[in-house]
Amino acid sequence: MSHVFTRRRFLVGSTLGAGALALSGCDVLDQNGDIDAVLRSAEQLTMKAQRLLQGRNALAREFTEADISPSFRVNGTSVPDSDEYAVLAEGEFKGWKLKVGGLVERPQEISLADLRKLPARTQITRHDCVEGWSAIGKWTGVPLMSILNRTGVKPTARYAVFHCADELERTLDGSGRYYESIDLVDAFHPQTILAYEMNGQALSIGHGAPLRLRVERQLGYKQAKYIMRIELVDSFSSLWGGNGGFWEDRGYEWYAGI
């Protein structure tokens, strides 16, 4: 601006006719220059905002404590129907260990107590179920990223598969077992956490104790409850129906973005 001002003063001081002409011409140019700069910065802002809001790495909206829904429905399985799970639940999951294997450098088994010692993330987010209901809840857990950094991910790994304790559909071959999968973009997303607390309390059995996935950019059925094992794979075509999840094998989209 001071540059414009100086030049204007200089031009006003020159011969009137040429000066006035030059002044109007220069003013337009200078104004355009300013407008260009403004537009450029606005465009950069829009681009950054779009990357932030719409890219695969964008964050899901987070809410405040006051927004937490007074009731949050339990959907799908409410208690896994297996003896193994019943024994684990009876022992308050002290005997449970999260197994992480497949295409990782260092397979691990991590107890709930050890998971709780790792740096945690808390987020208040909205859960959207395809059945047409939503609820806002507060989730605390370990970023999946930090687990994967511990185990190391082999270069061929493309997806993280979550094997759950419950059978949502009774079958002879086990194909009714709940499972889900996400790609590594979502697996390393900062809001992708393995939650062991909901609304400040230990995760209830209804909501997926001892551990459930929160992958906040996607719909409810991706939020695998009752996680027993995480497997890194290069393809999920050989798993159950081959579509990457219990509901996906029954026709739902694999990438359920919201």
Crossing angle (nearest 10°) for helices 16-54 and 2-12:
170
Instruction: Give how far Cα 17 sits from Cα of 5, 6, 14, 188, Å.
Output: 19, 19, 9, 66
- Told to check if 68 binds ligand MTE by CB under 6 A, we report no
**Least distance (Å) from ligand MTE to the CB of residue 79?**
11
Q: Which is nearer to Mo ion, 104 or 248 (CB)?
A: 248
Sign, CA torsion 245/250/256/258: negative
Which secondary-structure segment (H or E) carries 121?
Answer: strand 121-129
Check residue 244 for interaction with ligand MTE (CB under 6 A). Answer: no
Contact (Cβ atoms closer than 8 angstroms) between residue 31 and residue 23? no
Copy the structure tokens of residue 246. 């219990």
Rg of the chain over all Cα atoms, to the nearest angstrom: 27
Q: Could you tell which of Mo ion, ligand MTE, none binds residue 73, using a CB distance below 5 to 8 A set by kind? A: ligand MTE
| 221 touches ligand MTE (CB under 6 A) | yes
Task: State yes or no: residue 72 binds Mo ion (CB under 5 A).
Answer: no
225 binds, among Mo ion, ligand MTE, none (CB under 5 to 8 A by kind): ligand MTE
Residue 38 Cβ vs ligand MTE, minimum distance, rounded to whole Å: 45
With CB under 5 A as the rule, give the number of residues binding Mo ion: 3
Residue 177: both structure tokens together: 């077992």
Among 36-44, 86-94, 201-209, 237-245, the segment contacting ligand MTE (CB under 6 A): 201-209
For residue 143, which of 215, 234, 245 has the smallest C-alpha distance? Answer: 215
Q: Is 164 in the site for ligand MTE (CB under 6 A)?
A: yes
Residue from 59, 60, 79, 129 touching Mo ion (CB under 5 A): that is 129
Helix (H) or strand (E) holding 195: strand 193-198
> Could you give the 3-state DSSP secondary structure of residue 256?
coil
Position among 178, 196, 236, 240 found at the interface with ligand MTE (CB under 6 A): 178
223 binds ligand MTE (CB under 6 A): yes
Which positions touch ligand MTE (CB under 6 A)? 72-77, 129, 164, 166, 168, 178, 206-208, 220-221, 223-226
